[in-house]
Structure 1
Amino acid sequence: MTRNIRWPLTIIVTLFALFGLWGFASLGIWQVHRLHWKLDLIQRVDERVHADPVPAPGPGDWPDVTTESAEYLRVTLKGSFLNQDELQVYTPSDYGPSYWVMTPLKRDDGTLVWINRGLVPEKLRDPATRTPPEGEVTVTGLLRISQSKGWLFSQKDDPAAGKWYRRDIAAMSAAKGLDNAAPYFVDEDAVAGPEWPKGGQTVIAFRNSHLSYAITWFAMVGLVLICYGIFLFSELRRRD
């Protein structure tokens, strides 16, 4: 009795197995890289948000302001709010449909920094329903990088209609005709005074499921190997 291996089928199954091994292994390795990136991010953010505030970067430092070098850095700055140029950026929240109150702050050197003064519910979106701060103020908060790109299914900003869905500093400055604005904004800490806007709402807890995803993909690699082994074993046991 001789073995009767079905070579065309074996070649096809082998190719599919190799493709599956490559695909699942690549996804697993990518998740491992993402895991290390997320752990570094969590550590970096934790160190920055609990550090003493430093002066917000000035114009000479703007080219060096990046996500890696400065985001979530605790900063402080002084200036006067340009309340007439306030914009509201939509965001869902525990209070229902809500808005980030974004107001440019003019510093003594003439530069502007957009400040996210905090969250307001739908009923307080209109600036007329709130009392804005006047005169020189000191702002302390977390430096954030301009959000020029949205999520896959997020809505696009519509400046003409006054509808904003992301904190895009360049677009907001252009809509208000403002020049010399910093390429970042600051999430202001919670401050004493009126309840709204509610500051200190920056999300600094990051979901980290990359390890479980990596295990899943590497488990799929093992499953492909087992299935392919069973197939080869069955083929080698075939008889005329």
Structure 2
Amino acid sequence: MTAPHADRDTHLPPKRPVLRVVFAAALAIAFLGFTTLGVWQVQRLAWKRDLVARVDARIHAVPVPAPTRDAWAGIDADNSEYLHVRVVGRFLDVPTTRTQAVTALGGGWWLLSPLQLDGGEIVLVNRGFVPTGETAAGPPTGRVQVTGLLRLDEPGGGFLRSNAPGEDRWHSRDVQAIAEARGLPADRVAPYFIDAGRDSAAQGWPRGGMTVVSFRDHHLQYALTWFALALLTLVAGAWLFVSERRLRHHRRQLSTGTDHGDTPRRR
């Protein structure tokens, strides 16, 4: 009479409460992690849109005097990048620095020349773009006013390409390295450069006003991805809960059937 009971028990699914608890805890942790990342990306999206709005306002604002030496330490991307500025001074008689560039006009060079301001500070000015093979005019002589966009230093070089000051080969507008290569006093060189605006009266090269202002903004896509993954963990958790209930119900049915089967019948 006990053999049938043993046979039925062998068909019951094994109990694994510890494994189920670990799996549920992992889902809960994953849900919290994905949700946190999604919220963070939403916050980054708000920050990026605010930054774009501020930069757009700076670009189209009336030019203001460029930051002087006492304000250099406080310059950063949030408060100064793409600020519409003006400077007055004289270009120094040093070789123009050519940095590799790719623009809407094709490949070529940015031309950077140091401008000494009336107060003694020195600011590198990106006078504009010249295509490869074209001849560019030198910087103007005498006292000049330059208006343009304030840009932050680009140290090191470009993607997978390092600057080589000893060979006068430049892949980025590395202010400190260029100043050192040209023998400029480091304490007087501004930690930024200026992209000069387009001079409609100028003929030939270089051509100013070719700054491209763009920001990568994939935060919404990232946020949706993280929230979708959080939703999937909820679905997995719901599946685990439903499967557990079905398993328990199945166990009860098998147990009830076994008990009835073991009860001897009277004839």
How far apart are the structure 2 equivalents of 1:85 and 1:19? 60
Identical aligned pairs, as a percentage? Answer: 39
Give the residue type in structure 1 aligned to 2:181: A
> 1:155 maps to which residue?
161
1:84-163 equivalence runs, <5 A: 84-124=94-134, 129-135=135-141, 136-148=143-155, 153-163=159-169
Instruction: Give the number of the structure whose alpha-carbon radius of gyration is greater.
Output: 2
Say whether the 8 Å CA contact 1:105–1:112 is kept in structure 2: yes
Q: Residue 243 of structure 2 corresponds to which residue in structure 1?
A: 234
- The alignment partner of 1:84 has SS state of coil
Give the 3-state SS of the residue equivalent to 1:237 in structure 2.
Answer: helix
Residues 5, 236 of structure 1: 8 Å contact kept: no
C-alpha deviation, 1:166, in angstroms: 2.0
CA distance in 1, matches of 2:38, 2:79: 28
Normalised by the length of structure 1, the TM-score is 0.87
Residue in 2 that maps onto 1:167: 173
Query: C-alpha offsets along residues 24-47 of structure 1, whole Å, 9 cap, x if unaligned?
Result: 223212211211211111111111
Matched, 1:224 2:233: yes
188-197 or 4-13, larger mean C-alpha shift: 4-13
Distance 1:30 1:98, change over 3 A: farther
Q: Structure 1 33/155 Cα, relative in aligned 2: closer, same or farther at 3 Å?
A: farther
When the two structures are superposed, what TM-score results if normalisation uses the length of structure 2?
A: 0.79
User: Relative contact order: is structure 1 or structure 2 higher (C-alpha 8 Å, sep ≥ 6)?
Assistant: 1
Pairs aligned (count): 235
Structure 2: gaps (5+ residues)? 1-8, 252-267
Matches within 5 A, 1:12-27: 12-27=22-37
1:229 offset after TM fit, Å?
1.3
Partners in 2 of 1:93 and 1:16 — Cα distance?
Answer: 49
Amino acid at match of 1:146: D
Looking at structure 2, the residues matched to 19 and 87 of structure 1 have their Cα atoms a distance apart, in angstroms, of 54
Task: Check conservation: 1:139, 1:188, Cα contact below 8 A.
Answer: yes
Q: In 1, distance between residues paired with 2:16 and 2:245?
A: 10
8 Å CA contact 2:153, 2:173 repeated in 1: yes
Q: CA RMSD in A?
A: 2.3
Partner of 1:189: 197
2:57 pairs with one of 32, 47, 50: 47
List alignment gaps of at least 5 residues for structure 1: none
